Amino acid sequence: MITVIFLVSQAASMLAAGTVTRAIGQFSNQALPPQSRVAELIKAYLDQETGQRGFLLTGNPISLEPYFAGRTSADRLVTELNTQLDTDGEASRNLAAVIAAAQAWTDEAAEPQIAARREGSVPPDQLAVMTIAGKSLFDRLRVHLSALQGSTDDLVAERFDEVRDAQQRATIAQVAAALLLLAALILSDWLLRHLLTRPVARTLEDVTTVAAGDHDRTISGAGLREIAVLAAAAESMRDSLRKALLENERVSSQRADAEVHYRFLADNAVDVIAHLRGQEVVWISRSAENAFGWPTERWIGS
């Protein structure tokens, strides 16, 4: 029984540990990567805006390097996020809104303004209008990026809660398994004492008492079948011994009574009567003492 409970407890612990492992795997593979990709995507779009505004102000082509690098990174990250978030409806919708807002900023502000600046200097009043228009479109992109980041943060928190819950369930399962095993050990000890140790001790005590002379003591046969069989055999021997002793007592009593009657008759007989054992006198009647005048001590052993 203990072996079965031990195996069950081990299986429960392994199952709980497997649940924790899966939860950690989902946390590491499904929650953390999208969160990291979104953070990189935000940086990529900020690099694009920095490059676009820098070029708009200076006209230096070097200023566009962050813009093109950011656009390349954003395209790659959007592709990865589409795959990673395809099972999360809210996050997928937020990502789609980000893509649309980024496309609007690129088509309506970044690319036209870069093209205009490549043509030459932009008048201050027109530059102010371009800056305001670009900022408005990019602010809309920021809002959608913030929503997307919130979705991935929620996903991380959800997966983290799953890991915590799985760990708690694993802890409960392990504690329950340990308590179950402890209960099994206690139950086994109780059963051992009540079904084997105590019955054997009680039977041994009864047998010892009978062997010491108390033949009226009944030998207990409680406990396992083997103990009951052993006790029954000992009880049968005790009963046989008791009957034999009673018979011996009866015969001895009859013999003693016959001896008394015999001596009574002998003491009152006229003839000389003596008991011999071999060649020695072991008993002499009163009539013999009177007839010869010798006391008993003189006759005994002669």
Residue 239 or 39, more confident: 39
Residue 191 confidence class, pLDDT cut points 50, 70, 90: confident
- 297 and 245 share a domain? no
Greater pLDDT, 158 or 218: 158
Asked if 152 and 33 sit in the same domain, the reply is yes
Q: Tell me which of 186, 211, 228 is where a domain ends.
A: 186
Note whether 243 and 294 are same-domain residues.
no
Specify whether the CB–CB gap between 88 and 151 falls below 8 A: yes
46 in a structural domain: yes
Q: Domain check: are 139 and 171 in the same one?
A: yes
Greatest mean pLDDT range, 31-40, 139-148, 184-193: 139-148
Q: Nearest Cα to 101, choosing from 89, 110, 113?
A: 110
pLDDT at 269 over 60: no
64, 55 contact by CB (below 8 A): yes
Q: Is the whole model's pTM more than 0.85, yes or no?
A: no
Answer with the one of 138, 161, 186 that is the final residue of a domain.
Answer: 186
User: What distance, in Å, lies between the first and last C-alpha atoms of the chain?
Assistant: 80
What is residue 283's three-state secondary structure? strand
Overall domain count for the chain = 3
Looking at residue 172, its pLDDT comes to: 87
47-63 mean pLDDT = 93
pLDDT score, position 193: 76
The answer on 248 and 166 residing in a single domain is: no
The whole domain housing 92 covers: 2-186
Together in a domain, 83 and 141? yes
Strand pairing partners for 274? 284
Mean pLDDT across the chain: 80
Residue 121: what are its φ and ψ, rounded to 5°?
-65, 150
Compute the distance between CA of residue 192 and CA of residue 17 in angstroms, rounded to an integer. Answer: 34
> 182 vs 255, which has greater pLDDT?
182
CB within 8 Å of 144: residues ≥ 6 apart: 94, 97, 98, 100, 101
Assess whether 102 and 13 both reside in one domain. Answer: yes
Residue 55 has pLDDT above 80, yes or no: yes
**47 in any annotated domain:** yes
With bands split at pLDDT 50, 70 and 90, how would you rate the model's confidence at 96? Answer: very high
Does residue 153 share a domain with residue 39?
Answer: yes
Asked, for residue 232, whether it belongs to a domain, the answer is: yes
The pair of three-digit structure tokens given for residue 112, joined into one six-digit string: 């036209």
* 178 and 102 belong to one structural domain: yes
For 178-192, give one letter per residue: b (16+ CB within 10 A) or e: eeebeebeeeeeeee
Q: Give yes or no for residue 52 having a pLDDT over 60.
A: yes
Domain contains 211: no
What's the length of the chain? 302
| Residue percentage of the chain with pLDDT more than 70 | 69
Out of 139, 163, 186, a domain closes at 186
Average pLDDT over residues 14-36: 74
Residue 202 domain-assigned (yes or no)? no
Residues 34 and 165 in one domain: yes
SS3 218: coil
In which element (H, E) is residue 275 found? strand 274-277
pLDDT tens digits, 199-242:
777 777 777 887 777 767 776 666 666 666 666 766 677 677 67
More confident residue, 112 or 275: 112
Confidence category of residue 101, pLDDT binned at 50, 70, 90: very high
Residue 9 covered by a domain: yes
pLDDT value at 69 more than 90:
yes
Q: Tell me if 141 is assigned to some domain.
A: yes
- Residue 216, classed as helix, strand or coil, is coil
Asked if residue 8 is part of any domain, the answer here is yes
Higher pLDDT, 20 or 278: 20
Residues 129, 25 within the same domain: yes
81/132 same-domain check: yes
In this predicted structure, the answer to whether residue 196 has a pLDDT above a threshold of 70 is no
From 194-203, 225-234, 257-266, the region with the lowest mean pLDDT: 257-266
Mean pLDDT of 101-121: 94
pLDDT confidence band for 97 (50 / 70 / 90): very high
pLDDT of the residue at 87: 87
